[in-house]
A and B are shown apart, each in its own frame.
Chain A
């Protein structure tokens, strides 16, 4: 089993739609979680961190479910510019300062006019 698993998609949605991605992780002791965005043939960039209580940044909402070991990302009112690959990222080591991250393979979103 992969440490971080995502549905690769692609998810094809019309502009204005709401879309949600899930990601599961295998290490129950994992402490920190992130969503990164990667545009085609570009480097990954941090979209948002995921906090235990859930957090929102504009049209984006991230949630963490420790009991079921999954993280979700909800995008409301999708824009064409949201088309990208979304990477689920986990630090698998508890209370660790290694800075080492485990990346999922990514979920591709294509927003169509």
Chain B
């Protein structure tokens, strides 16, 4: 099993460009999450999907949209990238939407917006 995979690993964008970050998991997990990690700050939740067909905002959703394409895949879209969105983005999944379930993380996407 690959676990949680993310593409791309690295990306450089110009201000105003758009892009979609892809995430897939092969563990048959119900819940999936998108985080961003900035220096000196903890991971912050952008959006999450408790189950296929549902999505909800997290702590920092502005400037992002998500799609839960199916049970395996959860994508994050930046419609008009801004330098403030320069960050490392992690996707995670868990078996079900429970505070006691371990979250498994993908390797991350390092995004730079110029």
Shortest B26–chain A CB gap in Å is 16
Distance in angstroms from A48 CB to nearest chain B CB is 10
How close is B109's CB to chain A, nearest CB, in angstroms? 11
Most buried by B among A43, A44, A87, A98: A43
CB-contact partner of A45 in B45, B99, B105, under 8 A: B105
Contact across chains for B41 and A101 when beta carbons are under 8 A apart: no
Bound CA–CA A98/B97 (angstroms): 5
Interface class of chain A by DSSP: loop
On whether the beta carbons of B105 and A97 are closer than 8 Å, the reply is no
How many whole Å from A37's CB to the nearest CB in chain B? 11
CA distance A99 to B40 in the complex (A): 24
Q: Please tell me which one of the listed residues A34, A100, A103 contacts residue B42 in the complex, with CB atoms under 8 A apart.
A: A103
Q: Which residues 1-37 of A have a CB within 8 angstroms of B?
A: 4, 8, 31-32, 34
Contacting residues, chain B, for A106 (C-beta < 8 A): 42
CB of A45, distance to nearest CB on chain B (Å): 7
A84 on the B face (CB < 8 A): no
Contacts of A32 in B (CB 8 A): 99-100
Whether the Cβ atoms of A99 and B48 lie closer than 8 Å is: yes
- Residue numbers of A with Cβ under 8 A of B are 4, 8, 31-32, 34, 41-46, 49, 87, 91, 93, 96-106
